[in-house]
């Protein structure tokens, strides 16, 4: 969660709109635009709001993220049956590789300790655990997933996203404000300009994170033996 108050962003936008009294664009309407901007920011850049914590598994291989999830980012480690005991790391593995090595892996001997996970980005909220989880005494795992950010309830509350997203959210509020009155001369162009600025900031932050990502310096994993304990 950020520390910048939503009111700060809204007041800045209202000043540029020459509507500091919130007469044309009412304050609740503007706060709604900011909350829309938070959700759109996460859709464009999933790492804008990430939840990391234990997940209670279900029996078998197929696992599903919580209701607030948008997409899986990683399954990092086992957390024991209590969800509070860090254990073995969990490695990503491609489905085709695992299928080739063991076509019957969905029916393999169950274990509360997950060794690998399979994920398809086109099915963002579902992932598969290997080996399958047992029917009883199942393990918990630590997952990281992109989630829908909770709305800012009042203008006096801080934004849900990190403070680094405040400028982008300000641009989004201006985009929505101008877009509402797009029939007036120049407003459609202003709306398009501010939306472009919003998307540009998100793209720049995404590129900067990729450049600074320490994982880029590591060698790719080689899960050639998914059933091995090594």
Mean pLDDT, residues 139-168 taken together:
97
The pair phi, psi for residue 145, each rounded to 5°, is -145, 150
Task: With a cut of 90, say whether residue 207 has pLDDT above it.
Answer: no
- Rounded to a whole number, what is the largest CA-CA distance in the chain? 68
The pTM score is 0.81
Task: With a cut of 60, say whether residue 171 has pLDDT above it.
Answer: yes
Query: Contact 9/170 with Cβ under 8 angstroms?
Result: yes
Closest CA to 61 of 89, 93, 14: 93
Q: What is the pLDDT of residues 132-149, one digit of tens each?
A: 999 999 999 999 999 999
What are the structural domain ranges in the chain? Answer: 6-47+149-212, 50-147
How far is 152 from 7, CA to CA, in rounded Å?
10
Q: What is the pLDDT of residues 13-37, one digit of tens each?
A: 999 999 999 999 999 999 999 999 9
User: What pLDDT does 218 receive?
Assistant: 42
DSSP assignment letter at 200: H
């Amino acid at each position: 969660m950020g520390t910048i108050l939503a009111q700060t962003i809204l007041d800045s936008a209202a000043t540029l709109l020459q509507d500091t009294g919130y007469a044309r664009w009412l304050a609740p309407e503007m706060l709604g635009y900011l909350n829309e901007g938070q959700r759109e920011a996460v859709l464009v850049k999933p790492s804008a709001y990430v939840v990391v914590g234990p997940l209670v598994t279900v029996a078998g291989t197929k696992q599903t993220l919580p209701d607030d999830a948008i997409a899986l980012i990683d399954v990092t480690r086992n957390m024991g049956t209590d969800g509070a005991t860090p254990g073995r790391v969990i490695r990503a593995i491609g489905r085709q590789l695992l299928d080739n090595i063991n076509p019957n892996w969905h029916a393999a001997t169950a274990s509360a300790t997950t060794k690998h996970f399979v994920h398809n980005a086109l099915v963002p909220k579902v992932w598969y655990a290997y080996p399958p989880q047992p029917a009883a005494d199942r393990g918990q795992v630590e997952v990281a997933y992109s989630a829908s950010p909770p709305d800012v309830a009042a203008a006096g509350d801080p934004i849900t996203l990190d403070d680094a997203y405040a400028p982008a959210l300000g641009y989004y509020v201006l985009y929505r404000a101008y877009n509402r009155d797009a029939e007036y001369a120049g407003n459609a162009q202003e709306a398009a300009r501010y939306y472009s600025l919003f998307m540009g900031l998100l793209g720049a932050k995404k590129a900067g994170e990729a450049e600074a990502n320490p994982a880029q310096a590591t060698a790719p994993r080689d899960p050639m033996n998914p059933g091995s304990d090594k």
